[in-house]
Structures are given as structure tokens and as C-alpha cells.
Amino acid sequence: MRRVTKLAAAVTTTAALALTATACGESSTDSAGKKDKGVGLAFDVGGRDDHSFNEAAARGVDKAEKELGVKSKEMTAGNDETEADREQRLTSLAEAGYNPVIGVGFDYGKSINKVAEKFPKTTFGVVDSPSKQKNVAGLVFAEHEASYLAGVAAAKKTKTKKVGFIGGVNNALIQKFEAGFAQGVKDTDPKVKVTSQYLYPTNTKGFNDPAAAKAKAKGMLDADNDVIYSAAGQSGVGSIEVISKKKGTWAIGVDSDQYQQPGLAKYKDAILTSAVKNVDVAVYDLVKSVKDGKPMDGTTSFDLKEDGVSLATSGGFIDDIQKDIDKAKKEIVDGKIKVADSPKK
């Protein structure tokens, strides 16, 4: 009996394989609709409501919906995704007729350039990654410049002369934040000690693990750091929460103006400022360019000079040091200060 079952199983599997080899049946591309459906937005891990990076992109699309009357479709990445998952998400959006299709986060860098080849008539956009195809717009930001200003603010505000940096994942992008922040602190007050730590060495789960950020921030507070800058997507919510519970300590937010965010309203009095990355502006510009029939292409850099990145002032906690920040900003814009985009080894 067992032998027969096994044989049957083997035969079925082989048959199933053979069926695929000859690719029976239509492919999903054959049956997909091809109308212009609006913006297809593929989020990074954390999703729309990460109070940070994805949310900024979503704001750009929301604005486009309101002002340009376009529709949109949002999809979110899960933890531990592979290239195949990302390619599929982008392909689905392009197939369904969304244009432009925007991947939020450098994780989409490879897949978007690959998928774009198959859909030459669709405009693709990718945040934080350069373009390698004609129909891909790469939207990159000068995070290190905004982080430099955050460093200036931290150095001015610290009383213990110790400040901390928490990165979500130790990759090239987050190292830009670390490098700018550390340089800003050192240039302002060489006596201030900067401690930089990362939540995960490689796993992008680092952008979606508030508990880990909480633990890291707790450790930094216990070591007497009184200003902590977290560049960790949704994980940053965890560190901000812990910091808000210790009197006299400050959190510096990232990507969006985190003081303004309803989800973080409980902790906003601890948010000194945020290194804002105007992903919303970039995304809106891209959508508008497609709508106007002149789609953006190539790699566009958004830096301090044209307000692609900035330091938030809401809350008024840095009003007293605003002139120092303006001075640093001017020096960067004029090219007097060169901000390094990778940390000193």
C-alpha cells in the first residue's frame, strides 16, 4: 500500500512539474487590465503608519490625490522579504495599470530597475536609490546634511556632554545619518562624546522593531546620554517613548517632523527636533511630472540647498539656538562645510 501511495505522489509531482515546464494556461500578464489607474505606491517595511519614512511618502501621494485628482493604491512590504517578493509587488502594480509606480526605500533599488525593463511605458520612481533605467526616477536625499544640523542642535542642548545615535540597520544609508550627526556634534563642541549603535547588523527588521530600539535607548540613557537621535523608521517610536519618560532628556526624530505626528502626541514634549527628509515633496513632484506628461528621469538629489532635507523647528525647543543652526546651514549650502556621508573608521 505505501509503495503505491509513494508512486502516485511521485507521478503527480512530475506531472505538475511537466505542466509548468510547458507553461500551460495563460500568464497573469495576459489577463491584466491596462488602464491608467493612478499612483502605485509600494512601501518599505513598517507600512504607511510608521510615523516616519513611509508616512512622508504617503503624504506626498495624499497631496497629489487632493490637488491633482489622481487615484492611488498602496501596498506594504513584510519582514524578511526577498527580491522575488518585491519584484512581484512592483509587477502587480505596473500590470494593473498604475503609473507611476513608486518604491519607497532603497530595498526596491534592484527590483525596480529590473521590473522597469519589462514595462517601458510606465514611469517608475524609487526613493533613496539611484536610477539605472530610462523610465526610472531615482529620488535621493542628503540625509547627512540634515543630520549635521541635528548634531549641532544635540551638541548645544546636551548637559551631560554625551549624546547617542541609534541606527535601525547598519547599512550605507543609515551610516550617512550617523556620519552627519557625529560631524555636526564634533564641529560644534569637540568635548561632547557621541555613542553610535545599531539595532541590527543587516536585517531590515531594524526599521520595524520598536522593542529593540526601546532597549537600546534605555541602555544609552543609563549611560548618561541625554540627547538621542534615532534613524530607524518605525523602531524610532520605541526610543522616543523611553526617552520621554526620563526628565531632562531629548529625542531627535527622523524623516518626518515627528513633533507634529498625532501618533506621537503623547511624547512630543520630548522631541527636540527632527531631521526631516522631504520625501513627500519628491514623491509629489514625481507624480505631478507624470501627470503633466513630462515624467522625471535619472537620479535627482534633494539636499539642504533646495530644502530637500531640513531641520524641523516645531515645538520651539531649538528657538534659542536657531542662529547657530542657520549659520551651520549657510556654511553647508555655501560649501564651506563638507559633510561626510560615511562614518570615520
Q: Which residues contact other proteins by CB under 8 A?
A: 1, 5-6, 9-10, 13, 17, 19-29, 31, 73, 75-76, 78-85, 88-89, 92, 96, 106-107, 109-110, 128-130, 169-173, 200-205, 342, 345
Instruction: Find the shortest distance in angstroms from Cβ 192 to other proteins.
Output: 25
Query: What would the DSSP string read from start to end of 220-234?
Result: HHHTT--EEEEE-GG
Nearer to other proteins, 161 or 298 (CB): 298
Nearer to other proteins, 34 or 161 (CB): 34
Nearer to other proteins, 54 or 92 (CB): 92
Give me the numbers of helices (H) and strands (E) for the chain, helices first please: 10, 12
Instruction: Find the shortest distance in angstroms from Cβ 29 to other proteins.
Output: 7
Cβ neighbourhood burial of 324 (10 Å; 0-12, 13-18, 19+): middle
Instruction: Find the shortest distance in angstroms from Cβ 201 to other proteins.
Output: 2
Nearer to other proteins, 75 or 337 (CB): 75
Q: In what order do the strands lie in the sheet with 101-103?
A: 72-75, 39-42, 101-103, 124-127, 136-141, 298-302
Instruction: Find the shortest distance in angstroms from Cβ 245 to other proteins.
Output: 28
Torsion angle in degrees (nearest 10) through CA of 154, 46, 306, 133: 140
Nearer to other proteins, 6 or 266 (CB): 6
Instruction: Find the shortest distance in angstroms from Cβ 99 to other proteins.
Output: 16
Instruction: Find the shortest distance in angstroms from Cβ 138 to other proteins.
Output: 9
Instruction: Find the shortest distance in angstroms from Cβ 310 to other proteins.
Output: 21
Handedness of CA 234, 178, 301, 277 (dihedral sign): positive
Look up residue 308 and give its three cell numbers.
Answer: 530637500
Nearer to other proteins, 62 or 224 (CB): 62
The owner of cell 512592483 is: 90
Alpha-carbon span 236 to 234, nearest angstrom: 5
Q: In what order do the strands lie in the sheet with 162-169?
A: 193-200, 162-169, 227-231, 250-255, 271-277, 309-311
Nearer to other proteins, 130 or 219 (CB): 130
What phi and psi, each to the nearest 5 degrees, are found at residue 156? -75, -30
Start-to-end CA distance of the chain, whole Å, equals 66
